[in-house]
C-alpha cells in the first residue's frame, strides 16, 4: 500500500531542497548541474545589470533566473521527498536498535556460567543466552532452545513467530524480543553489519548505488545535454552573423541561450531520475522486503522465469483429509471410525482434519479413551505410521508401504485394491494414508494439498506478463503433475534436490532467461546464490539470507510475485517519464526556435502556428512550463506508473501513446496557455 505523505516529510523535503543546493551535491546529477550553473550565470547577469552591464531587460533576466532556481529546487524536492519516506522508515528502525545487556556464555553447555556485556561489545562467534522478556542483542543462529519471538519492530506484524535450533527457522534478528521460553544464540554479525544496520542504510538510501540501467540512462541524458549545449552555444555567433547579413534583428542574448539550453536539455527526466530509483526502493520496503541492491529490483522487473515452492506458496501447506476410500468388503463408516480413533492424539493439521471429516461425514464424535488405557503411538520418521492400541484393538495409519510391512508382519494380506487406490490418490495430487486394524487393511485416507484460492488467476496474470512459472516440490512426479495442473503453473520440478534446483536455474540462464526464486533453508543457498533474483525468507537460515539479494521480512513465499510487479513498475516508470521528457524537448524545439529567429527571418512566421505573442513571451512560457512539469510529475515518480498484466509489446504501445504522444502534445497546449496568461497580465 502506498504511503501517504505527512507534513513532517514535506517540511523536511523543503529544507533538504535548499541544503542540496551545495555544488558538491549538485554535481552528482550532471543534467541538473547544467541548470544549476545556468541559474548562477543568469543571477550574475542580473546583478551586473545594476552596473549597466546587461544583454536583456533587467526584469526579464530576473524572471529567467528565478525560474531556473525554482527548476533546481523542484528537482531537489523530488529527490528529497523520496529520501524523506526512507528516512522516516529508518527512524522507526533505529528505535529498535539499541544497546542492551547480554549474557555472554563461555560454553553453550553451561547456561549458568556467563558474563554480562553490552550488545555493542559482542563479536561474531560469541554465544549468548536470552530468556523471556529480553531483547535479542545481535543477529544470530539459534543453537539450542525454542521460543516465540516478537519481530514487530522489524516486520510490523504483531503476531509472534517461533524460532528454534535446527531446521530452517533458526535465524534471529537483533532488536527483536523473546516472549517465552529461552534461546542460546551464536552471534553471526559484527557491530554495524547487522541486519538492522543494513535495513537502515538501505531505506535511507545511504548505501544506494546507481544501477546499470540508471547509469546507462544518465550517460544518454548527459550526451543529449552536451549536444544541446553545443547547439545552444553556436547560436550566439550564428545569430550575430545572420542578423548583420539580413540587416534585421539582433544576436540572441546570453540569457536566452541559457534558457533555451535548459528548455531543450532532458531536464524533466534528469530531475526525476534519482527520485524514481529511491521511490522504487521505498515501495519495496513498504512491502516489507529488504533489497540488498537496486540492481536486484531492476532484475526483478526483467525476470521471465519464476521458481516457486509448492508448500506455502501454491498450496496452503497443510494437507486436509477429503475422502475415506475403503477397500472391498469394508464399510466407509468402519474406515472413518478407525481413522478417527487413530487421530485423536494427532495434533498435526492432517490429524485434526481426519477427526473433522469423520464428524462431518458420519457424526462420529471424539471419544474418551483414557479409561480404556489407550496407548497412542506418535508418527516417527522410522516407522512412518501412527496409531492407537486399546481394548485389544490395534489401529495403524501411515504410508502405504509402511502399512503393508505392518500387515504382512502379522500374517495379514495386503490387497492389490489398496495399491490401486493409493495410485489413484497420488494421481489426483493427493497424499494417501493407508489404514489397518488388527492386521487387516481397511482402506485409504485421501489427504489433499489445498491449492490457495486465487493462485490460478495470479499465474494467469504472470503468463500475460510473459513470465513462466515453475513449481518446485519434493513430491513424486504424478502428485506434482496433478497439483501443477490444478494451480495452473507452466511447469514443475518434482522430487527436487538442491542439485536439481541449481541445474534447472543454470539451464534457463544459459538459454538467456532471468530467473527468480525463493528459499529459506541452508539447502536452498546454492540455488539462491545462482538465481538472478533471490528472495530469502527472514525466518530462514543465515546461509539462505546471505545467499539471497533480497530478504522478505514477512517470510511469505508469494511475495516474489509482488516483487516482480514492483520491479516492472520501476522500469516502466523510468521508461515512461524518459519518453515523456524527450517528447517534451521535441515539442519545445518547434515551439520556441521559430519565434526566436522571426526577427531575422520573417519567413519563419509560418512556423509560429501557436501565435505566441513574442520571443520574450515564448521563452518565458517554455522555461516556466519546464519548471512546473517537474513538480507536476513528482507524484507519478513516487507512486510509479500503474502496471497492467499485458504483453511487453502492448505495454510499449501504451507507453508510446500516452507518454510519447502525450509528451509531444502537452507542451504546445501548456506553453500557449502560459503565453496567454502572461500577456493578459501585462507581464510581456
Tens of pLDDT, residues 422-445: 888 877 777 888 999 988 899 999
Model confidence at 86, in pLDDT bands (50, 70, 90)?
low
| Residue 206 pLDDT | 43
Is the pLDDT at 647 greater than 90? The verdict is no
| Structure-block grid coordinates of residue 433 | 494414508
Would you please indicate which residues are annotated as catalytic (active-site) residues? 309
| Region 64-71 average pLDDT | 95
Q: With the CA atoms of 110, 115, 120 and 123 taken in that order, what torsion angle do they form, in degrees rounded to the nearest 10?
A: -50
**10 burial type by CB count under 10 A (0-12 exposed, 13-18 middle, 19+ buried):** middle
Position 1 scores a pLDDT of: 38
Residue, of 367 and 171, whose pLDDT is higher: 171
DSSP label at residue 13:
H
Q: What is the mean pLDDT of the chain?
A: 84
> Are 470 and 489 in contact, with CB atoms under 8 Å apart?
yes
In this structure, of 3-17, 66-80, 253-267, the range with the lowest mean pLDDT score is 3-17
Q: Which range is most confident: 1-15, 57-71, 73-87, 329-343? A: 57-71
Q: Would you state the cell numbers that stand for residue 263, as one nine-digit string?
A: 528548455
What percent of the chain lies above the pLDDT cut of 90?
24
What pLDDT band is residue 669 in, cutting at 50, 70 and 90? very high
pLDDT value at 128 more than 70:
yes
pLDDT at residue 377 in the model: 82
- Residue 43: count other Cβ atoms within 10 Å of its Cβ: 17
Q: Angle 615-639/267-286 helices, nearest 10 degrees?
A: 10
- Give me the pLDDT at residue 2, please: 41
Alpha-carbon separation of residue 311 from 303, 473, 550, 659 (angstroms): 22, 8, 20, 42
Cβ–Cβ < 8 Å for 338, 444: no
**Residue 154 confidence class, pLDDT cut points 50, 70, 90:** low
Report whether pLDDT(472) > 70. Answer: yes
Q: Which of 60-64, 293-297, 531-535, 651-655 has the weakest average pLDDT?
A: 293-297
pLDDT band at 630 (very low <50, low <70, confident <90, very high): very high
1 to 152, 386, 568: CA distances (angstroms): 18, 46, 16
- CA 160 – CA 515 distance, rounded (Å): 32
pLDDT at 631 over 70: yes
Write the DSSP assignment of 344-404 as a string of letters. TT--SHHHHHHHHHHHHHH-------GGGT-EEE---TTT-EEEEEETTEEEEEE-HHHHH
| CA distances in angstroms from 638 to 106, 147, 281, 282, 466, listed in the order given | 51, 40, 10, 9, 26
Global model pTM greater than 0.75: no
Average pLDDT in the 527-555 region?
81
Residue 156: pLDDT over 70: no
Confidence class of residue 507 from pLDDT cuts 50, 70 and 90? very high
Q: What is the pLDDT of residues 341-385, one digit of tens each?
A: 888 877 777 788 888 888 888 887 656 555 557 788 887 767 778
**Other beta carbons within 10 Å of 95:** 9
What is the 3 state secondary structure string of 554-604?
CCCCCHHHHHHHHHHHHHHHHHHHHHHHHHHHHHHHHHHHHHHCCCCCHHH
Q: Residue 367: its pLDDT value, please?
A: 60
Judged by DSSP in three states, 128 sits in strand
Strands 289-291 and 550-552: antiparallel
CB burial of residue 73 (10 Å; 0-12, 13-18, 19+): buried
Amino acid at each position: 500500500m502506498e504511503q501517504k505523505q505527512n507534513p513532517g516529510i514535506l517540511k523536511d523535503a523543503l529544507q533538504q531542497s535548499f541544503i542540496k543546493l551545495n555544488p558538491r551535491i549538485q554535481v552528482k546529477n550532471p543534467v541538473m548541474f547544467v541548470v544549476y550553473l545556468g541559474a548562477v550565470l543568469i543571477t550574475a547577469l542580473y546583478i551586473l545589470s545594476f552596473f549597466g552591464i546587461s544583454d536583456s531587460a533587467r526584469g526579464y533576466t530576473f524572471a529567467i533566473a528565478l525560474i531556473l532556481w525554482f527548476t533546481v529546487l523542484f528537482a531537489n524536492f523530488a529527490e528529497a521527498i523520496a529520501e524523506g519516506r526512507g528516512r522516516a522508515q529508518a527512524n522507526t528502525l533505529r528505535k529498535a536498535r539499541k544497546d542492551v545487556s547480554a549474557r555472554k556464555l563461555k560454553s553453550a553447555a553451561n547456561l549458568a556460567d556467563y558474563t554480562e556485556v553490552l550488545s555493542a561489545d559482542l563479536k561474531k562467534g560469541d554465544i549468548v543466552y536470552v530468556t523471556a522478556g529480553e531483547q535479542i542483542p545481535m543477529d544470530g543462529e539459534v543453537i539450542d532452545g525454542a521460543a516465540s519471538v516478537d519481530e514487530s519492530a522489524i516486520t510490523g506484524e504483531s503476531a509472534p513467530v517461533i524460532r528454534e535450533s535446527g531446521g530452517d527457522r533458526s535465524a534471529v534478528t537483533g532488536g527483536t524480543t523473546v516472549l517465552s521460553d529461552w534461546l542460546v544464540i551464536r552471534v553471526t554479525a559484527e557491530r554495524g553489519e547487522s541486519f538492522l544496520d543494513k535495513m537502515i542504510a538501505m531505506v535511507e538510501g545511504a548505501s544506494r548505488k546507481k544501477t546499470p540501467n540508471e547509469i546507462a540512462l544518465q550517460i544518454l541524458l548527459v550526451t543529449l545535454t552536451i549536444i544541446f549545449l553545443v547547439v545552444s552555444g553556436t547560436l550566439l555567433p550564428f545569430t550575430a552573423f545572420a542578423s548583420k547579413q539580413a540587416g534585421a534583428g539582433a544576436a540572441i542574448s546570453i540569457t536566452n541561450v541559457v534558457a533555451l539550453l535548459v528548455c531543450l536539455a532532458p531536464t524533466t527526466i534528469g530531475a526525476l531520475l534519482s527520485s524514481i530509483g529511491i521511490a522504487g526502493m521505498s515501495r519495496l520496503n513498504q512491502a516489507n522486503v529488504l533489497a540488498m541492491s537496486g540492481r536486484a529490483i531492476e532484475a526483478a522487473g526483467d525476470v521471465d522465469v519464476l521458481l516457486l515452492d509448492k508448500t506455502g506458496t501454491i498450496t496452503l501447506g497443510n494437507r486436509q483429509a477429503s475422502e475415506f476410500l475403503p477397500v472391498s468388503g469394508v464399510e466407509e463408516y468402519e474406515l472413518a471410525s478407525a481413522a478417527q480413533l487413530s487421530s485423536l492424539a494427532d495434533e498435526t493439521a492432517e490429524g485434526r482434519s481426519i477427526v473433522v471429516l469423520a464428524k462431518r461425514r458420519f457424526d462420529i464424535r471424539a471419544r474418551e479413551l483414557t479409561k480404556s488405557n489407550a496407548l497412542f503411538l506418535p508418527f516417527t520418521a522410522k516407522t512412518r505410521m501412527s496409531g492407537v492400541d486399546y481394548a485389544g484393538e490395534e489401529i495403524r495409519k501411515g504410508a502405504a508401504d509402511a502399512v503393508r510391512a505392518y500387515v504382512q508382519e502379522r500374517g495379514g494380506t495386503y490387497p492389490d485394491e489398496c495399491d490401486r487406490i493409493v495410485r489413484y490418490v497420488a494421481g489426483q495430487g493427493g497424499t494417501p494414508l493407508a489404514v489397518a486394524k488388527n492386521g487387516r487393511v481397511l482402506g485409504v485416507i485421501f489427504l489433499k494439498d489445498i491449492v490457495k484460492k486465487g493462485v490460478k488467476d495470479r499465474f494467469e496474470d504472470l503468463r500475460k506478463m510473459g513470465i513462466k512459472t515453475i513449481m518446485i516440490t519434493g513430491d513424486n512426479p504424478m502428485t506434482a503433475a496433478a497439483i501443477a495442473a490444478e494451480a495452473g503453473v507452466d511447469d514443475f520440478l518434482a522430487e527436487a534436490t538442491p542439485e536439481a534446483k541449481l541445474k534447472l536455474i543454470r539451464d534457463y540462464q544459459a538459454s538467456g532467461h532471468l530467473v527468480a526464486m525463493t528459499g529459506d533453508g541452508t539447502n536452498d543457498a546454492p540455488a539462491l546464490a545462482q538465481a538472478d533474483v533471490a528472495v530469502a525468507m527472514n525466518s530462514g537460515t543465515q546461509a539462505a539470507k546471505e545467499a539471497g539479494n533480497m530478504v522478505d521480512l514477512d517470510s511469505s513465499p508469494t511475495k516474489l510475485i509482488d516483487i516482480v510487479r514492483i520491479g516492472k513498475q520501476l522500469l516502466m516508470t523510468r521508461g515512461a517519464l524518459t519518453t515523456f521528457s524527450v517528447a517534451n524537448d521535441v515539442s519545445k524545439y518547434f515551439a520556441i526556435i521559430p519565434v526566436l529567429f522571426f526577427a531575422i527571418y520573417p519567413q519563419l512566421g509560418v512556423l509560429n502556428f501557436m501565435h505566441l505573442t513574442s520571443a520574450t513571451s515564448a521563452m518565458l512560457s517554455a522555461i516556466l512550463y519546464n519548471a512546473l512539469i517537474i513538480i507536476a510529475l513528482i507524484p507519478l515518480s513516487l507512486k510509479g506508473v500503474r502496471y497492467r498484466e499485458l504483453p511487453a509489446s502492448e505495454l510499449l504501445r501504451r507507453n508510446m501513446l500516452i507518454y510519447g504522444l502525450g509528451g509531444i502534445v502537452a507542451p504546445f497546449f501548456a506553453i500557449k496557455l502560459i503565453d496567454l496568461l502572461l500577456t493578459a497580465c501585462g507581464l510581456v
